[in-house]
């Protein structure tokens, strides 16, 4: 994040430099540690700003509560030059002089989602540049729907309440999936929604965490199922893991998407009754006659994700 702040400040400097008239008020950016962005605006553009000490006179709760906040920590570490009240609430001199006129200060609880996001993104643009275009951004779920600066219960990432309760508070329909007999252990605290999703947006459908490879999100933890294999089962790459597995939870062992495994296979491998497979030639073995008996395909085709031994995935 620091690096990205560097970039945005540098850009700001370039823009300001281009404006000419403002250059005189703007310090050269390079020698100053860039986490001090907000402070710089306070320290070097004192006009309109009152300073955090003034706020403390009337807002004890917010001031005291901010002590161990990552925003304030920097302020303490850098001689009061970190992110202070006015870094977020904007210049407060007029508010102070009026004895606390509410219309003279930026209030997050009165602002529109767009205004809130813009405020936070002034500094966090680097972390979450695509937020506007995310499902949350588009649905006007703003930063403060999930984050709280002064009243965070989960202090780590300043979340209003911890996951998964935070996510369930809106995504009630997803909750039952994680109570099914087979599920990823999110409720048990073994993993989090954000192991697979980035609530700030990704380039994938459903804001699934992304990288160049589409199934990267699963492969992070299940490398052995992804290969590469000498004999690949193409469906793993073409359709992806979620063609066969329900990522949240399932009634079926191995999180399988169908309770009848054979039907899952037969969607593609049709014509099993001695006629023809769409994929591969017709097998002569009677075990493939679905009319005779039900035997799970993976009893024999146990290396269903791919094999380094045979192209029929039986070993
Ligand atoms: C002289 C006392 C005083 C000082 C100094 C002061 N405030 Fe306030 N502030 C108030 C009062 C009074 C309110 C209204 C409280 C209410 O309605 O509950 C208020 C409200 C606010 C609000 C909420 C606005 C809203 O819409 O409800 C914010 C945010 C705020 N102040 C921030 C600041 C910041 C930042 C500073 C320092 C720059 C500051 N205040 C300094 C007295 C003060
Ligand atoms: C990192 C950004 C940030 C910083 C720094 C910050 N605030 Fe806030 N403040 C917020 C947000 C966001 C809210 C809305 C409630 C919440 O999320 O906790 C808020 C709410 C408030 C409120 C309550 C008004 C309301 O709208 O309900 C007051 C008063 C206030 N802040 C004063 C301060 C003071 C005084 C400081 C400095 C000691 C400060 N804030 C520092 C972001 C910030
Ligand atoms: C003036 C700049 C500034 C503004 C405005 C600002 N932040 Fe920050 N924020 C920071 C800095 C600097 C840090 C500390 C980063 C670090 O330690 O690397 C931080 C830390 C955080 C963290 C914790 C990151 C972590 O890794 O633990 C969260 C969450 C966060 N900010 C959310 C917000 C939200 C939400 C808002 C708007 C209400 C906001 N910030 C407004 C500068 C800002
Ligand atoms: C739908 C909920 C949600 C919204 C909306 C949201 N966040 Fe977050 N944010 C989270 C969660 C959850 C985490 C913790 C991620 C983790 O633990 O892996 C987080 C983490 C962060 C962090 C820490 C660094 C990181 O990326 O992990 C920052 C900074 C941050 N958010 C800023 C913002 C800003 C700025 C906005 C608005 C533009 C915003 N968030 C909107 C849920 C949200
Ligand atoms: C304040 C309510 C709220 C909270 C809290 C919230 N969401 Fe959302 N989320 C929404 C809304 C509204 C949408 C967009 C409409 C929809 O697709 O349901 C959305 C969309 C999504 C989507 C995309 C759905 C799709 O079909 O593309 C995912 C994934 C998601 N949220 C995950 C999360 C996660 C993970 C968390 C917790 C870190 C979270 N949400 C917290 C309200 C919320
Ligand atoms: C093991 C990875 C994983 C975990 C953990 C996970 N998800 Fe998902 N989630 C996915 C994938 C993959 C999809 C896309 C499914 C698809 O496209 O068929 C998805 C889809 C979604 C959707 C949109 C479609 C739907 O089912 O409504 C929402 C909303 C969602 N997840 C919310 C959550 C929430 C909330 C949590 C935590 C309680 C969570 N997810 C945990 C992988 C995961
Ligand atoms: C953060 C790590 C992580 C990610 C990401 C993840 N998983 Fe898992 N997965 C696990 C763990 C841990 C277990 C075993 C949990 C348990 O004991 O229930 C598991 C169990 C499974 C199982 C059942 C295994 C069995 O033996 O019954 C399947 C199938 C599975 N995951 C598929 C997926 C798919 C598909 C994805 C991508 C959408 C995915 N996983 C993403 C950690 C992860
Ligand atoms: C063609 C359907 C299909 C696809 C695509 C698929 N799987 Fe599977 N997977 C299965 C079946 C069937 C089983 C059960 C095997 C058994 O019971 O012997 C299984 C079992 C698993 C297991 C349980 C442990 C193990 O190794 O047998 C994990 C973990 C798993 N798959 C992860 C993944 C991941 C990750 C992907 C994507 C890279 C993926 N699967 C793609 C069908 C599929
Ligand atoms: C989405 C379609 C799809 C699904 C579902 C699917 N497969 Fe496949 N399968 C393929 C394709 C495509 C090939 C490659 C055919 C080729 O190379 O001629 C293949 C190849 C195979 C082969 C090797 C065939 C050969 O000629 O070497 C076996 C065995 C196989 N699949 C078994 C299964 C089983 C068992 C399941 C269910 C767990 C399954 N498949 C699910 C599409 C699918
Ligand atoms: C009792 C073990 C067994 C079961 C159960 C089984 N197969 Fe096979 N399968 C084999 C063997 C052995 C071969 C390779 C020899 C052959 O062609 O008959 C094979 C070959 C295949 C081939 C490649 C075609 C070919 O002729 O090379 C496909 C595709 C296939 N099986 C799919 C399936 C599907 C789908 C199921 C479940 C509906 C299934 N198998 C159930 C043992 C089995």
CB-CB contact of 159 with 166 (8 Å): yes
Q: How far is the CA of 134 from the centre of ligand 6 (A)?
A: 15
Q: Buried (b) or exposed (e) across 71-108, using 16+ Cβ within 10 A?
A: bbebbeeeebbbbbbbbbbbbbbebbeeeeeeeebbeb
CB-CB contact of 268 with 278 (8 Å): yes
Is residue 225 helix, strand or coil?
helix
User: Mutate which of 182, 215, 239, 245 to test ligand 8's pocket (most atoms within 8 Å of Cβ)?
Assistant: 245
CA distance 164 to 148: 16
Does residue 4's CB lie within 6 angstroms of at least one atom of ligand 5?
no
Does residue 217's CB lie within 6 angstroms of at least one atom of ligand 7?
yes
- Please give the model's pTM, rounded to 2 decimal places: 0.90
Closest C-alpha to ligand 5, atom 5: 167
pLDDT at 129: 83
Closest C-alpha to ligand 1, atom 43: 100
Closest C-alpha to ligand 1, atom 33: 55
CB-CB contact of 166 with 174 (8 Å): no
Q: Judge residue 195's burial from the number of C-beta atoms within 10 Å of its C-beta, 0-12 exposed, 13-18 middle, 19 or more buried.
A: middle
pLDDT at 215: 58
Closest C-alpha to ligand 8, atom 6: 241
Q: How far is the CA of 256 from the centre of ligand 8 (A)?
A: 8
pLDDT at 257: 94
User: Mutate which of 139, 141, 204, 206 to test ligand 6's pocket (most atoms within 8 Å of Cβ)?
Assistant: 206
Ligand nearest to the CA of 274: 10
Q: Give me the count of residues in the chain.
A: 315
User: Mutate which of 312, 314, 315 to test ligand 10's pocket (most atoms within 8 Å of Cβ)?
Assistant: 312
Per-residue pLDDT of 13-55, as tens digits, reads: 333 333 333 333 333 333 223 333 443 344 445 789 998 889 9
Task: Please list the pLDDT of the chain residue by residue as tens digits (315 residues).
Answer: 333 333 333 333 333 333 333 333 333 333 223 333 443 344 445 789 998 889 999 999 998 888 778 887 665 555 555 688 999 999 999 999 999 999 999 999 999 999 999 999 999 988 888 899 999 999 999 999 999 999 999 988 999 999 999 999 999 999 999 999 999 999 999 999 999 999 999 988 899 987 655 557 898 899 899 889 999 999 998 888 999 999 999 999 999 999 988 888 888 887 544 334 444 444 556 667 655 556 788 989 999 999 999 999 998
Q: How far is the CA of 129 from the centre of ligand 9 (A)?
A: 40
């Amino acid at each position: 994040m620091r690096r990205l702040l560097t970039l945005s400040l540098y850009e700001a400097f370039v823009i300001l430099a281009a404006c000419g008239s403002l250059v005189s008020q703007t310090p050269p950016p390079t020698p100053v540690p860039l986490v001090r962005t907000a402070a710089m605006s306070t320290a070097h553009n004192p006009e309109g700003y009152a300073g955090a000490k003034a706020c403390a006179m009337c807002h004890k709760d917010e001031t005291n509560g901010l002590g161990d906040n990552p925003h304030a920590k920097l302020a303490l570490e850098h001689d009061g030059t970190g992110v202070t009240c006015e870094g977020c609430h904007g210049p407060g001199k007029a508010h102070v002089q009026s004895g606390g006129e509410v219309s003279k200060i930026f209030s997050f609880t009165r602002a529109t989602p767009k205004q809130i996001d813009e405020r936070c993104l002034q500094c966090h643009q680097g972390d979450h540049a695509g937020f506007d275009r995310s499902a949350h951004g588009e649905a006007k779920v703003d930063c403060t729907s999930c984050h709280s600066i002064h009243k965070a219960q989960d202090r780590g990432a300043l979340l209003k309440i911890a996951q998964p309760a935070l996510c369930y508070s809106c995504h009630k329909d997803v909750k039952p999936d994680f109570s099914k007999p087979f599920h990823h252990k999110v409720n048990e605290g073994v993993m989090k929604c954000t192991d697979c999703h980035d609530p700030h947006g990704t380039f994938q459908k459903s804001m699934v965490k992304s990288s160049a490879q589409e199934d990267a999100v699963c492969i992070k933890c299940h490398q052995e199922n992804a290969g590469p294999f000498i004999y690949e089962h193409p469906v793993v790459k073409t359709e992806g893991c979620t063609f066969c597995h329900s990522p949240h939870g399932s009634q079926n062992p191995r999180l399988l998407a169908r309770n009848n495994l054979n039907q899952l296979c037969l969607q593609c491998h049709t014509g099993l009754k001695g006629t023809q497979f769409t994929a591969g030639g017709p097998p002569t073995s009677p075990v493939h006659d679905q009319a005779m008996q039900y035997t799970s395909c993976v009893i024999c085709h146990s290396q269903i994700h791919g094999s380094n031994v045979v192209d029929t995935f039986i070993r």
